[in-house]
Amino acid sequence: MAPALSTNTSATTASATAAVGEDRAPATGVRIDHVHKSYDGRSVLDDITLDVRPGEFVCLLGASGCGKSTLLNLVAGLDRPSAGTIEVPGGRPALMFQEHALFPWLTAGRNIELALRLRGVPRAERRAEAERLLRLVRLGGSYGKRVHELSGGMRQRVALARALAQDSRVLLMDEPFAALDAITRDVLHHELTRIWSETSLSVLFVTHNVREAVRLGQRVVLLSSRPGRVVREWTVDIPQPRRIEDAAVADLSVEITEELRGEIRRHGRD
């Protein structure tokens, strides 16, 4: 069962919904306001403030250990901030992990139906909806396939369909393509961009791959090494569809990489 959001998040979500009213969309997909997180007295995140607008695709970038996944877990409601607030006015976000986390004893379709059941979708409607979601991720006809019959890329597509089955307006993605080969990852970049454009989801995508961030995001946000702080952000004014080898993608990636290297060097001198 998906964990409940923290008390602060639930309260702010309710007040935000009341404020905008039933006919108006919320002003933000996610609002992170002066968030700190510490474990055993050691600071992991320090004073993070970040908004993700409705329908915006934001990539969160930083060196390993800078707190990217920790921040995503806080937004998902899997953990609570030590200080600060997180608001998700559109309701509980969906989360896609680094690993597909599919149940191997269930078929692709049944894995998606499990998410639909937890959402309260009636049994009579689940199969048709699972098949629709499989078609959305270009896996039509794969309802009855077992996990071991699927390639790595196909498993991640099923995991994406299962996340979409939660019917959230916010999708959180934690390095979902990191373990895939370059060609499969490129194909899934294209598919994710297509699905995002068709659904108008707010996406917060964590990666350590600079080119991936520039290939996908409307905005790239760089975190410093631990403790994670927002160092800089870039608006990506490169029209979609983009390719990872495009000259404009490469040029901006070089600029961001230099900034990232500087953060890593500064951390090494601490």
Residue 112: its pLDDT value, please? 97
Q: Which two tokens stand for residue 152?
A: 């790595």
Q: 7-93+168-269: what fold?
A: Rossmann fold (3.40.50)
Is residue 137 exposed (0-12), middle (13-18) or buried (19+ Cβ within 10 Å)? buried
Alpha-carbon distance 91 to 125, whole Å? 22
Domain residue extents for the chain? 7-93+168-269, 103-167
Residue 91: its pLDDT value, please? 81
Q: Which two tokens stand for residue 226?
A: 């631990």
pLDDT tens for 117-138 read 999 999 999 999 999 999 999 9
Other CB atoms within a 10 A radius of the CB of residue 167 amount to 13
Alpha-carbon distance 48 to 98, whole Å? 23
Is the alpha carbon torsion for 71, 255, 203, 164 positive or negative? negative
For residue 156, give the nearest of 171, 183, 133, 137 by alpha carbon: 137
Residue 243: its pLDDT value, please? 93
Q: Which residues of the chain have pLDDT under 70?
A: 1-27, 267-270
Q: Determine how β-strand 202-207 pairs with β-strand 219-223.
A: unpaired
Q: Which residues pair with 18 in a beta bridge?
A: none
Residue 101: its pLDDT value, please? 87
Q: Which two tokens stand for residue 109?
A: 């379709």
What kind and span of H or E run contains 194? helix 182-199
Q: Is the peptide bond before 241 cis (omega within 30 degrees of 0)?
A: yes
pLDDT tens for 190-248 read 999 999 999 999 999 999 999 999 999 999 999 998 899 999 999 999 999 899 999 99
